[in-house]
Amino acid sequence: MSLITRLHRSPAPEPTSAADRDRSARRRLPIRTGLAGLLVFAVLAVPDNPDAFASLRQALISLLRLPLEGILGAAVLLATPARARRTVAIALGAALGVLGILKVINAGFREVLGRRFNPVLDWSLLGDGYNYLVETSSRAAAIGAVIGIVVVSVAAVAVIAVAVRHLAGVTARHHRPARRAVAALVPVWAVLALLSGHTVVGVPRSSDNVAVLVRNTVLGVPTALADRAKFAELAQADAFRNVPADQLLGGLRGHDVVIGVVESYGRTALQDEPMASIVGPALADRQRQLTEAGFSARSAFLTSSTYGGSSWLAHATFQSGVWIDNPDRYRQLVSGDRLTLTKAFQTAGWDTVGIEPGNTKAWPEAEFYGYDRVWDARNLGYQGPRFGWSRIPDQFTLGAFQKHAFAGRQKPMMAEVSLTSSHTPWPPTPPLVDWNTLGDGTIYGPIAQAGEQSERAGAPVQVRFAESVVYSIDSLLSWARTYADDDLVLIVFGDHQPNARVSGKGSDHDVPISIIAKDPSVFDKIADWKWHEGLKPGADAPLWKMDAFRDRFLTAFGTPGGAAR
């Protein structure tokens, strides 16, 4: 018998009855309800702190929560008229989905920058994240990531909205037991709220973290407006605003001043293992080399206005003498006329130069800071391979600075050089090469390839970070020993601590700072600072807030000897 014949003679399946379909739907209902409830509970109860999931035990304890928002949401849906319940449920679900996305963003900010996302002030930082992906991967990868994030976010909001709508329908069909459950959970939550201040393992705790998130978001606008008014007053209150040019920085007359900003160079590099065992001995050896070359150094700590990233906030704080810890303050600052360190040098007659290898486009703020000229990734002349986010190795950056600016100076020069080789993600750094062989950077081709294939590429992130800090400092000090004369004053400081993967959870915001010079009179003027001798400040070295440096520096080196002119 042919297959066609057998199929033809096979009895056709009987159509499924409405009763069968109804029984199948009822069997699936508990599963759907359980999944919907689990999803809503997760969005409400899971904290936005990544530390809560450091271990399975911590994660389980973190999930022992009774969310107030779930109780209130159920009460609202039960009180909503039947005709509007579906619309209200979808609206509540969509809002919950958005808040869930905000939780994820918060977790990312806490992991990288050590703080929560500010819904009012921090949107520009998302653009910086995109730019970071472009620099470390490719534009196509960054665009793909953005598309993926948007698709997943929209889908998450839709799924959570559907889940809340489903739960609303279930509670409506079982409104009496649902109302009794809500009424019973209110006093339970109140009791847990009273007990939540005590850590009792295994006992559920109250949770209102979504409500706190909403409150912080709503209050963010008036808080930001109040901070804007406060900052405007701070920026205008400048003791050095009207100081005559001939009274600015006279104590440094005839000296070249170079400020080297070492990316992510924080206290952790000096005091935490395994970084300290790499950086500490390196600094001791470089101090010996500096002493042999006739240099001395004094060091201390500054508390940075940022952590883990947003370097420009630290640069602005150091330069302006006011605390810049968010993008809004930065925008206010650069739109005003606050006296910066660079502007003070420019006013007093120094030639002012900015070396910014991380910049790939025009930098409008250069005029505010007071730079006569700026070199960046577009005109430093580098044709070599990329080294992670830092496309240009620090030694080449300094070699270009020497070639384009320092060697041809006609009067005292003040320069700020950003050293970016110690920027995350910390790929293997190249060794120092002969300064005369730098050329256009193509010498780094084989070096980069060898680094990618070396064991260092797979080293722990703390080791790679420490090695990159040593490379940045090595490059700067080697330049000073090779090219500087007796009139150089070198200021080296870190902009912020590395992110929590390196510095650990709950790290401080402290960064080292050193002043290096051959002229003893430089140190005489800062003797009352009581900074520690050498390149490495001890744990008990003086600690200033970063915004205090400008005023103390201008005070210490003001008036005597007149300006550079």
- 317 neighbors 323 (Cβ within 8 angstroms): yes
- Report the pLDDT value the prediction gives residue 436, as an integer from 0 to 100: 94
Q: What is the CATH number of domain 245-556?
A: 3.40.720.10
* Amino acid at the residue 469: V
Tell the burial category of 443 from Cβ atoms under 10 Å away from its Cβ (0-12, 13-18, 19+). Answer: middle
- In 10 A of CB 372, how many CB atoms? 17
In three-state form (DSSP H/G/I as H, E/B as E, the rest C), the secondary structure along 103-160 is HHHHHHHHHHHCCCCCCCCCHHHHHHHHHHHHHHCCHHHHHHHHHHHHHHHHHHHHHH
Q: pLDDT in tens for each of the 565 residues of the chain?
A: 443 444 345 454 545 555 555 555 455 567 888 888 788 887 877 777 776 666 666 666 666 677 777 778 788 887 888 888 888 888 888 888 888 888 888 777 777 776 777 776 777 777 767 666 766 666 787 788 888 888 888 898 898 888 888 888 888 787 788 788 778 777 776 776 666 544 444 444 545 556 566 666 665 666 777 778 888 888 888 989 889 998 899 999 999 999 999 999 999 999 999 999 999 999 999 999 999 999 999 999 999 999 888 889 999 999 999 999 888 899 999 999 999 999 999 999 999 999 999 888 889 999 999 999 999 999 999 999 888 778 899 999 999 999 999 999 999 999 999 999 998 888 888 999 999 999 999 998 887 776 665 666 678 889 999 999 999 999 999 999 999 899 999 999 999 999 888 888 778 999 999 999 999 999 999 999 999 999 999 999 999 999 999 999 999 998 755 454 4
CA nearest to 389, candidates 479, 213, 263, 294: 263
- Report the pLDDT value the prediction gives residue 7, as an integer from 0 to 100: 38
- Report the pLDDT value the prediction gives residue 211, as an integer from 0 to 100: 58
The string of DSSP codes covering 459-500 is S-HHHHHHHHHHHHHHHHHHHHHHH--TTEEEEEEESS---H
- In 10 A of CB 90, how many CB atoms? 16
Q: Which two tokens stand for residue 562?
A: 């007149």
- Report the pLDDT value the prediction gives residue 194, as an integer from 0 to 100: 67
Kind of pairing, strands 296-303 and 532-533?
Answer: antiparallel
CA nearest to 360, candidates 331, 386, 336: 386
- Report the pLDDT value the prediction gives residue 553, as an integer from 0 to 100: 97
- 472 neighbors 394 (Cβ within 8 angstroms): yes
CA nearest to 433, candidates 486, 489, 491, 393: 393
CA distances to 60, 74, 99, 152 from 89, rounded to whole Å, are: 29, 10, 15, 21
Query: Would you list the domain boundaries of the chain?
Result: 20-222, 245-556
Burial 512-522 (b: 16+ CB within 10 A, else e): bbbbbbbbeeb
Contacts of 348 (CB under 8 A, 6+ apart): 245, 246, 248, 249, 250, 563, 564, 565
The model's pTM: 0.75
- Report the pLDDT value the prediction gives residue 4, as an integer from 0 to 100: 41
Tell me the β-bridge partners of 351: 413
Tell me how far apart the alpha carbons of residues 452 and 423 are, in angstroms, rounded to a whole number: 17
